[in-house]
Each structure stands twice: as structure tokens, then as C-alpha cells.
Chains A and B, each alone.
Chain A
Amino acid sequence: AQSVTQPDIHITVSEGASLELRCNYSYGATPYLFWYVQSPGQGLQLLLKYFSGDTLVQGIKGFEAEFKRSQSSFNLRKPSVHWSDAAEYFCAVGAGGNKLTFGTGTQLKVEL
């Protein structure tokens, strides 16, 4: 069965600094990979997704992620963080059928 690990529970960055959120997955073949963002008390919104092809994926709100098969990773990055980016971020993997497996999330705090 597939699994997802987000090793950082909390991350704090200063506004304007760069950001990288880590995601590692376990799956035997090439998975479908997603990053979602959740504001407090709200549902999840898709930031970006990877299926195949170019391993650097661009998403909404200036986010990007890079798929690295050799490291089983799909890290999320942003060059310059804005205060409005403070939220919880979830990595997810889809490996068949309709089911997605989600990581436990990384809570991002942005210091002004």
C-alpha cells in the first residue's frame, strides 16, 4: 500500500523568505502526486499535481513542486512567502482506483 510522509509538523518562515515543504512517498510505480492547502476551519484547495512528464510542476499562488523518483520525494517550494500563505499543507498520493492517501500535514507560520 502507498504511504506519504511529511516530516515537518510545523515550519516558521519570515515573509519574503523562500519556502520548501518536504514530502516523501512510498509506492512501487510512478504515483500521482498532489499538494493541497487548507486554511483554518476550511476545506482543502489543490495547489498542484504531477502525473507524468516534466518533473517540475507549476501550481497556483506561485507554488511549484519537483518530483524526484530517485529520492521518492515531491517537495513543495515557493521563492518568496507572503503572510497569506500561512496555512496547513498536505501532500497526497494516488495509486489506483479513486483513493488518495494523505500525509499528516505541515503547518506553516509566516512571521511579519
Chain B
Amino acid sequence: DGGITQSPKYLFRKEGQNVTLSCEQNLNHDAMYWYRQDPGQGLRLIYYSQIVNDFQKGDIAEGYSVSREKKESFPLTVTSAQKNPTAFYLCASSRETGQSRDEQFFGPGTRLTVL
């Protein structure tokens, strides 16, 4: 079945540690996205990538980093510089680049908790 997988589903981190969230898609989509979801705030865009080896900052990129070495993979690293990292993180992909009319397909999410 085609889709987006995110791992792990739950992640716990101590303050001061970096942690990497995995996102893989087998939909052959060009564009991939990372969102952060907090209660009552909807989804906020962290980073997005339209093509391999290229990515752009979203609205809340500070304290996060990404890479796009393969078309199917778009890992997100939450660094120690992110002041309030506890949140639900969603990865998404869409078929075409530069087309906001394209549906974005979402993974099941990773809940990160900083202890």
C-alpha cells in the first residue's frame, strides 16, 4: 500500500538532546513537508522540500533542521535550540512542486515529549 510512514509514534527526549524524526513516503511525490501541531493552534509549517537536495524554511523553522537526500525520505531533527519542542509532529507529501492545489497526504504523526 502506498502511503507515508512516520517513526517512532511516541518519542521521549531529555532537555539538551537532539532527536531525529523519520518520515518516509512511497507515493513517488516530489514535495514533502513537516508541520508542528499544538492544541488550539492548528498546523504550523516547519520546513518543506520541493525536490531532492533542496528545502525551504516554513513559518517556525528555528530550532529545527531537515535533509532531503532521497526523494522518499525527509527526516526532521529537533535540536536543543528549540525552546519548546513538546508537540505532535506531522509529515506530509504532495505530488507536484509549486502547486498548492495539490492534496497533501499526511502520515500518522510522532508525539514528542521533552522530559
By DSSP majority rule, is chain A's interface helix, strand, loop, or mixed? loop
Q: How far is the CA of A104 from the CA of B50 in the complex (A)?
A: 25
Min distance, Cβ A103 to any Cβ of chain B, angstroms: 6
- Is A17 part of the binding interface, using a Cβ–Cβ cutoff of 8 Å? no
Known: A43-B107, A44-B90. A97 touches B100 (CB 8 A): yes
Known: A104-B41, A104-B42. A98 touches B108 (CB 8 A): no
The one of B43, B58, B107 that contacts A90, using a Cβ cutoff of 8 Å: B43
Min distance, Cβ B57 to any Cβ of chain A, angstroms: 11
Known: A43-B90, A43-B106, A105-B42. A98 touches B111 (CB 8 A): no
- Is A56 part of the binding interface, using a Cβ–Cβ cutoff of 8 Å? no
Q: How far is the CA of A51 from the CA of B97 in the complex (A)?
A: 17
Which interface class (under 10, 10 to 19, 20 to 34, 35 or more) fits B?
A: 20 to 34
Min distance, Cβ B101 to any Cβ of chain A, angstroms: 4
Min distance, Cβ A68 to any Cβ of chain B, angstroms: 19
Known: A9-B40, A90-B42. A100 touches B100 (CB 8 A): yes
Min distance, Cβ A1 to any Cβ of chain B, angstroms: 10
Which interface class (under 10, 10 to 19, 20 to 34, 35 or more) fits A?
A: 20 to 34
- Is A67 part of the binding interface, using a Cβ–Cβ cutoff of 8 Å? no
Residues of chain B within 8 A of A99, CB atoms compared: 45, 48, 58, 100
Min distance, Cβ A39 to any Cβ of chain B, angstroms: 10
- Is A45 part of the binding interface, using a Cβ–Cβ cutoff of 8 Å? yes
A residues adjacent to B (C-beta < 8 A): 9, 32, 34, 36, 41-46, 49, 51, 90, 94-100, 102-105
B residues adjacent to A (C-beta < 8 A): 4, 31, 33, 35, 40-45, 48, 50, 58, 90, 92, 94, 97-109, 111
